[in-house]
Amino acid sequence: MKSYWWKFLGAAIVAYTVIAGLLGEVPALPILHESIRNVYFHVPMWFAMLLMYLISVVYSIKYLGSGKPEDDFIAVESVNVGLIFCLFGLLSGMLWANITWGDPWPNDPKLNSSAIASLMYLAYVVLRNALDEEQKRGKISAIYNVFAFPIMIVLLFILPRLTDSLHPGNGGNPGFSGYDMTGSMKWVFRPAALGWMLIGCWIMTLRYRIRKLEYHTDEQSN
Q: What is the DSSP string of 103-135?
A: -SS-S-HHHHHHHHHHHHHHHHHHHHHH--SHH
Whether 63 shows a pLDDT value over 90: the answer reads: yes
Least reliable range by pLDDT among 5-19, 71-85, 154-168:
154-168
- Provide long-range contacts, Cβ within 8 A and 24+ apart, for 4-8: 6/198, 6/201, 6/202, 7/198, 7/202
Domain assignment present for 220: no
Domain assignment present for 113: yes
* pLDDT attached to residue 174: 47
Domain assignment present for 126: yes
* pLDDT attached to residue 108: 84
Residues of the chain with pLDDT > 90, as a percent, come to: 55
* pLDDT attached to residue 177: 52
Cα–Cα distance measured from residue 91 to residue 98, given in angstroms and rounded to the nearest whole number? 11
Spatial CB neighbours of 11, under 8 Å, sequence gap ≥ 6: 195, 199
**More confident site: 204 or 35:** 204
Range of the domain at 120: 12-214
Q: Are 52 and 85 in contact (CB under 8 A)?
A: yes
Domain assignment present for 3: no
**More confident site: 201 or 134:** 201
Whether 218 shows a pLDDT value over 80: the answer reads: no
* pLDDT attached to residue 181: 63
Region 43-58 average pLDDT: 96
pTM of the complete model: 0.90
Domain assignment present for 169: yes
Domain assignment present for 7: no
Whether 77 shows a pLDDT value over 90: the answer reads: yes
User: What total number of domains does the chain contain?
Assistant: 1
Domain assignment present for 219: no
